[in-house]
Amino acid sequence: MTPSAAKHWKSPMPWSPDPEDDPVKSANTRRIFPRHARDLAAELEAVGCHPQAIPGLLLKGEMALFKLSGLSAAEAHLLKQAALSLGGDAAVHYGLITGERDHSDALLMLSLDRLESLRPKLEGLPFRLPELSLEIEQALRDAAPGRRAFRVGDRLYRREGRPYIMGILNVTPDSFSDGGKFQETSAALDQARRMVEEGADFIDVGGESTRPGADPVSAEEEWNRVKDVVRQIAAELPIPLSIDTTKASVARRALDAGARIINDISALRSDPEMLEVALDGDATLVLMHMQGEPRTMQANPAYRDLMLEIHAFLAERVEAAYSAGVVPDRLIVDPGIGFGKRPGDNFEILGRLGELADLGPILVGPSRKSFVGRALNLLPEERLLGTAAAAAVATVQGADILRVHDVKSIFQAAEIAHQCLTRAEPREPESRT
């Protein structure tokens, strides 16, 4: 604005800020990056918006992105037109324009305040568009943080601060990181007590190594390795116990001994009786994605669309559990860091965890994994800082549970990451007595 124009310009506002109250003396234009609605709400409050206006502005300020797969050309074109009419868009394959393709995936982009107007538009259209509108609404609703609660025993868990911490206790001779350290019951119990003192919310006991190339063991041998540890931890320690197994007979005996969670890396595929065991024992189930099986999973993993394939697999497994009678708050999903994944896949999963949020609470296990070792050229026992960084990213991206060896350090990393994310006061640690 020129000096001559300035003297004729009047502020459109009915008031002018007092220069003494404004710490910024000159124009300051910058782009901001609110990660969550609460961040945008804080900015709106700082501007001085009326409290009653903020909810509507939040909807305008948040863009919803949905990936839809396998649309016909007609469906993709109609979806795009509906989105454009609402001020959004749907990106589709260029080949639909040239006529070289008859189908496409689509990336729907629409602000939340216009999303509610999409369903009436799609309901009146042919093909699968009415069904797609319901799927979009369902995905948005299921991904809401309040919907991702889970129950262990009689207690309901919902992440409101840092993620919950699940301490790893391998009672095996050949696990990749701590094999042989806790085979003696006394050593395992000491480690379990230490993890509780350091802040663990759950302890996951395993009697069979699932490292790449590991040989399977019989159910009897696996149970003999873990039985004394499971019984004594369940009797002595105040936090829920998880059993890491793919065998229904081991899971049943562990539940009878006091375990409350079944961590099944096969996602119920290895043993057809596992679902019945979980239902009979009212257990919480962790369902993990894995390409292949432990002995061969790292031979040549390959994906055309990593997150699509992980989501589709876990969605099918979750639906199978629902169909058998498992209630939603007894299910947790795990994208399977390091299980049939290339190094870069693991980093991508960590950065895109939120895409799994509609499936339920998310457990992530980055602890001392080879993708950390390869990135930093470190042995398993040297990967603590890399694991902490991965755990911090997972915290920011929405993980509900972190499964780790080094409870104290990861507890601290997750707490700081959460506070950076929310600017919240640290919560008081729970009493362990």
Q: Scanning the structure block, which residue is given the tokens 């050949």?
A: 174
Tokens of 125: 């259209």
Largest CA distance in the chain: 91
Q: Which structure tokens are listed for 347?
A: 């980093």
Please tell me the distance from the alpha carbon of residue 351 to that of residue 329, in angstroms, as a whole number.
Answer: 25
Q: Which two tokens stand for residue 21?
A: 């109250």
Three-state DSSP class for residue 191: helix
Residue 104: enclosing H or E segment and its boundaries?
strand 103-111
Beta strands in 122-215 (DSSP E): 150-152, 155-157, 164-170, 202-206
The amino acid present at 250, given as its one-letter code, is V
First to last CA, the chain: 68
> Which single residue is written with the structure tokens 């995905």?
139
**Strands 155-157, 103-111: pairing kind:** unpaired
3-state secondary structure of 33: coil
CA dihedral 188, 193, 194, 200 (to 10 degrees): 110
Nearest C-alpha neighbor of 310 from the set 289, 341, 286: 289
Which residues are annotated as catalytic?
Answer: 369, 403
Measured in whole angstroms, the distance separating CA 367 from the mean position of its chain's CA atoms is 15
* Residues paired with 109 in a beta bridge: 65, 89
Q: Comparing C-alpha atoms, which of 160, 226, 175 is closest to residue 405? A: 175
Joined together, the tokens standing for residue 63 give: 């863009």
| Cα angle 101-103-105, degrees, rounded to a multiple of 5 | 120
Looking up tokens 């993993």 gives 301
